[in-house]
Structure 1
């Protein structure tokens, strides 16, 4: 019985370590879908709004456990990684300036459903953006 418990515990620790330490390839995550249609997805969300990338970038960079993976304001597209508080699950959000519009694509890396976390995070950023701009 102790052996089974030990193996289960080892598997959980190994899984948690993989989630936190798995390498992230910017070539894979720093991009947008061919077609951007606003809405919620099983594993993320897409939003298209009027706005300025530099202003939203400042808001996103102030988000706890969030860092830039690739891109910058000058390039017109930035991808961020935000990790969950307890287990460190990474979510990727790519923001692209397209004329006067911001296209925002947030998605999970592991699993099939984010339980609305990406949509809520993006909507919170956009609410702050609206407050900062208005």
Structure 2
């Protein structure tokens, strides 16, 4: 019985280490939010292009989005560059370090610039609303 409990503890700890240290492959996660389908699980959120339009140029908007996301706790850039208008970030949960991937694409429109965002969890089926809250915070930071 003790062996079984010890084995379960070791497996659980190994899983937690894997969640925190698993490599993030840019080829898998740095995808165009304009053309990528919604994940098959409810642990994601989107901002569609045109929902927010600013009078600035796309490069300026991309820089503001980059600054807003990098100011959030435990967010780092995974791939892309704001100057190119296409960036993917990794946002990790506070305690266990679960990764979420946030991909942003900025676009020029007649009245200035807009953007598309896809924020999704890597593990699990539920994100407890974290991705939607992150995008709400991003909206607030840009206003």
Bin of the TM-score, shorter chain as denominator length: 0.7 to 0.9
Aligned to 1:29: 29
Q: What TM-score, normalized to structure 2?
A: 0.83
SS in 1 for 2:10: helix
Is the partner of 2:63 in helix, strand or coil? helix
Secondary structure in 1 matching 2:28: helix
Q: Distance in 2 between matches of 1:71 and 1:32?
A: 11
2:141 is equivalent to residue 128 of structure 1: yes
Tell me which residue corresponds to 2:117: 104
* CA deviation string 1:85-110 (max 9, x = no partner): 01100000001002111101100000
Aligned to 2:58: none
Partners of 2:94 and 2:128 in 1: how far apart?
15
Provide the aligned length of Structure 1 versus Structure 2.
127
Matched position secondary structure for 1:12: helix
Q: How far apart in 1 are the matches of 2:36 and 2:4?
A: 47
Output one character per residue of 1:46-78: Cα deviation in whole Å (capped at 9) or x when no partner. Answer: 103224111111011111111000011111111
Asked if the contact 2:33–2:103 (Cα under 8 Å) also holds between the matched residues in 1, the reply is no
The CA RMSD measured in Å over matched residues stands at 1.7
Residue in structure 2 matched with residue 118 of structure 1 by the alignment: 131
Secondary structure, in 3 states, of the residue corresponding to 1:118? helix
Task: State whether residues 45 and 132 of structure 2, in contact with CA within 8 Å, keep that contact through their aligned partners in structure 1.
Answer: yes
Query: Partner residue of 1:82?
Result: 91
Partner of 1:64: 73
Q: How far apart, in 2, do the equivalents of 1:34 and 1:22 lie? A: 26
Unaligned runs of 5+ in 2: 55-60
Gaps of 5+ in 1: none
The answer to whether the 8 A contact 2:34-2:116 is kept is no
Deviation at 1:32, TM superposition (A): 2.2
Would you say the 8 A contact 1:36–1:103 is kept in 2? no
CA contact (8 A) 1:45 1:119 kept: yes
